[in-house]
């Protein structure tokens, strides 16, 4: 019985790929949406089952289920479910999306369970290539973001591969746990590998100075893909970064902490100052997601179980905030509302959209009672508890700076210009509602999610 359960995830992956391929054949919108949703729901169910009972096992040295990976299974399958549902409206044809999403979700879901460096690089590749195709196939006007994403992804994968080859002489099995146990010392090549690794994954994870492509691609991508890019793909890069930096390079604690601290500070300032100057909402969200990447780095710089817990919590929190926000912005963009000024009087058009946008923006700004506050609170606390008081202070100052652009958007939404009311279709309503519910529920009562994040973080550290 348990033998079968151990292979449930690979079987579901096969199912996902089959669902994607089937979509390419039959092109029935409803059917393919249904099959994708069911597959993801099953993954979610297993993820919840694994994390509820803290199950851990190794299966054929291919993948490793432990609280860390179970947490990510829950997070990514939930996020993909929302993205998938929203795409039904944001992408009218859905056929291409329905084909690509299950395939790339295999890459996304397997990165957390990776037990070797090769699995990580393959999963990232499996995630990136379909995403590029998805953007490129959406029409001629998307050639620019597709090309940009393609170039950045190609270079970052090449650099990542080079970094892994540099590790190879010291760890010929390429296995994460063996790399951790073997004392790799502080060789010159390892430091180079570390730098290349941060550069490569930093590109995908939107860390300054590798993040200049982010605003163009997030803004220019099809509305159905932007939530995926910002809410899921970016987080996958963070997961890979966490696994490699914390497990493989666990000996270089001081160097990693310093590098991450500097990156965190620069990324936060770049994102926040950039967002202040924007008028287009999607572009502003792109910059704000860069700043959020900086916050996540604060927890990683703390380099402790608590810091990792905080980062995982924030990864979870930001995933749903940004997915909700991009779905909302994409829907409004389809209705012809693009800039911050267009949003004025949104409150009169649709109370639901105005309320949801307010919740998401306040949560990103870190207002208590919402999930974003808990995330930031944990992050800055973890920095203080590791003795990085200056980093925590800079983080809090950045959090204060961000209120400028979030507040400006919210202020516009409630200005009293009157408009006709707007019809919100169900396929937009429910994904946004799901995001809002997650933001509020885990904001008001964060204890269960904090527990999961804590056991995930502790289990990653116990691999070392």
Partner 1 sequence: MLPIIFLMLAILGIGGLVAALAGSYSRSKLTAILFSAVALLIASYMVLGALTSPGFLGSTESLPYIGQFGIYLSFTITQFGVVLVLLASIVSFAASVAVSTKFEDNRNLYPLILLFEFSAIGLFVSANLFLFYIFWDVGVVASYFLISAFGKGENKHAANTFLIYSIFASAVLLFGIMLIYFYTPVHSFDIGYIASHSFEIPADIQGMIFTLFFIAFMVKMPIFPFHSWIANAYSEAPTQGSMLISGVLSKFGAYGMLLLFTVFAFSSEFAKYAFVIGAISSFYAAFVVMRQKDLKRIAAYSSMLESGIILVGISSLNVFGIAGALYLMLAHGLVMALMFAVIGGIEISYGSRNITMLKGIVKDSVGSAYSFLVGTFASTGIPLTAGFVADVLIFIGAIKTYGLYGAIPIFSIMLLGFYMYYAVNKSFLSTKESSQSIAKLPRQMAFTYAIAMAAIFIFGIFPYLVTALFGI
Query: Where do contacts with partner 1 occur on this chain (CB under 8 A)?
Result: 347, 362, 365, 367-369, 373, 377, 380-381, 384-385, 389, 392-393, 396-397, 399-400, 403-404, 407-408, 410-411, 414-416, 446-447, 450-451, 454
Locus of tokens 């151990």: 6
**Distance of alpha carbon 142 from the chain centroid:** 22
User: In Å, how far are 113, 171, 254, 288, 325 from 380, measured between CA atoms?
Assistant: 28, 35, 19, 18, 24
How far apart are the C-alpha atoms of 308 and 457, rounded to whole Å?
Answer: 6
Quick one: 46 or 306, whose CB is closer to partner 1? 306
Quick one: 407 or 425, whose CB is closer to partner 1? 407
The radius of gyration of the chain from alpha carbons, rounded to an integer in Å, stands at 21
Report in angstroms how near the CB of residue 319 gets to partner 1 at its nearest.
Answer: 21
Q: Count of H helices and E strands in the chain?
A: 21, 2
328, 432 contact by CB (below 8 A) = yes
Report in angstroms how near the CB of residue 427 gets to partner 1 at its nearest.
Answer: 26
Report in angstroms how near the CB of residue 407 gets to partner 1 at its nearest.
Answer: 5
Quick one: 119 or 459, whose CB is closer to partner 1? 459
Quick one: 209 or 411, whose CB is closer to partner 1? 411
Report in angstroms how near the CB of residue 35 gets to partner 1 at its nearest.
Answer: 38
DSSP label of 139: -
User: In Å, how far are 139, 211, 262, 287 from 208, measured between CA atoms?
Assistant: 30, 5, 10, 11
How far apart are the C-alpha atoms of 285 and 275, rounded to whole Å?
Answer: 7
The backbone torsions φ and ψ at residue 304, rounded to the nearest 5 degrees and listed phi first, read -145, 170
Report in angstroms how near the CB of residue 73 gets to partner 1 at its nearest.
Answer: 22
226, 443 contact by CB (below 8 A) = no
Report in angstroms how near the CB of residue 399 gets to partner 1 at its nearest.
Answer: 6
Quick one: 69 or 382, whose CB is closer to partner 1? 382
Quick one: 137 or 377, whose CB is closer to partner 1? 377
Report in angstroms how near the CB of residue 260 gets to partner 1 at its nearest.
Answer: 20
Quick one: 129 or 315, whose CB is closer to partner 1? 315
How far apart are the C-alpha atoms of 299 and 297, rounded to whole Å?
Answer: 5
Locus of tokens 């590998």: 193
């Amino acid at each position: 019985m348990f033998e079968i359960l151990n292979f449930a995830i690979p079987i579901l992956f096969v199912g996902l790929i089959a669902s994607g391929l089937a979509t390419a054949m039959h092109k029935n919108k409803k059917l393919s949406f249904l099959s994708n949703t069911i597959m993801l729901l099953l993954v979610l169910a297993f993820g919840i089952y694994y994390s509820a009972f803290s199950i851990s096992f190794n299966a054929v040295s291919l993948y490793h289920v432990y609280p860390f990976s179970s947490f990510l299974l829950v997070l990514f399958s939930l996020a993909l479910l929302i993205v998938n549902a929203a795409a039904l409206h944001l992408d009218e044809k859905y056929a291409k999306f329905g084909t690509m999403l299950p395939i790339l979700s295999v890459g996304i879901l397997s990165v957390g369970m990776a037990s070797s460096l090769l699995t990580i690089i393959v999963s990232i590749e499996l995630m990136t290539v379909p995403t590029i195709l998805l953007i490129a196939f959406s029409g001629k006007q998307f050639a620019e973001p597709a090309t940009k994403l393609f170039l950045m992804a190609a270079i970052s994968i090449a650099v990542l591969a080079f970094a892994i080859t540099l590790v190879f002489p010291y760890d010929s099995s390429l296995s994460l746990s063996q790399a951790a146990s073997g004392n790799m010392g502080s060789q010159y090549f390892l430091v180079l590998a570390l730098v290349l690794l941060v550069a490569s994954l930093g590109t995908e994870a939107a860390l300054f100075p590798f993040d200049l492509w982010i605003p163009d691609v997030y803004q220019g991508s099809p509305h159905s893909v932007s939530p995926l890019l910002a809410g899921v793909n970016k987080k996958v890069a963070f997961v890979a970064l966490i696994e490699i930096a914390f497990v493989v390079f666990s000996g270089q604690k001081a160097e990693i902490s310093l590098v991450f601290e500097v990156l965190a500070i620069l990324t936060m300032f770049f994102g926040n100052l950039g967002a202040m100057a924007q008028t287009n909402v999607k572009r502003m969200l792109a910059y704000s997601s860069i700043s959020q990447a900086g916050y996540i780095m604060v927890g990683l710089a703390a380099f402790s179980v608590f810091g990792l817990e905080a980062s995982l919590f924030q990864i979870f929190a930001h995933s749903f905030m940004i997915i909700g926000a991009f779905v909302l912005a994409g829907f409004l963009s389809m209705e012809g509302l693009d800039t911050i000024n267009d949003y004025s009087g949104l409150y009169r058009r649709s109370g639901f959209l105005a309320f949801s946008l307010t919740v998401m923006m306040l949560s990103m700004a870190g207002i208590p009672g919402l999930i974003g506050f808990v995330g930031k609170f944990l992050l800055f606390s973890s920095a203080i508890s590791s003795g990085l008081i200056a980093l925590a202070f800079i983080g809090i100052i950045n959090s204060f700076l961000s209120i400028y652009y979030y507040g400006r958007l919210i202020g516009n939404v409630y200005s009293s210009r009157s408009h006709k009311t707007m019809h919100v279709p169900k396929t937009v309503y429910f994904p946004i509602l799901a995001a809002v519910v997650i933001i509020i529920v885990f904001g008001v009562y964060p204890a269960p999610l904090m527990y999961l994040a804590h056991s995930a973080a502790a289990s990653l550290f116990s691999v070392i």
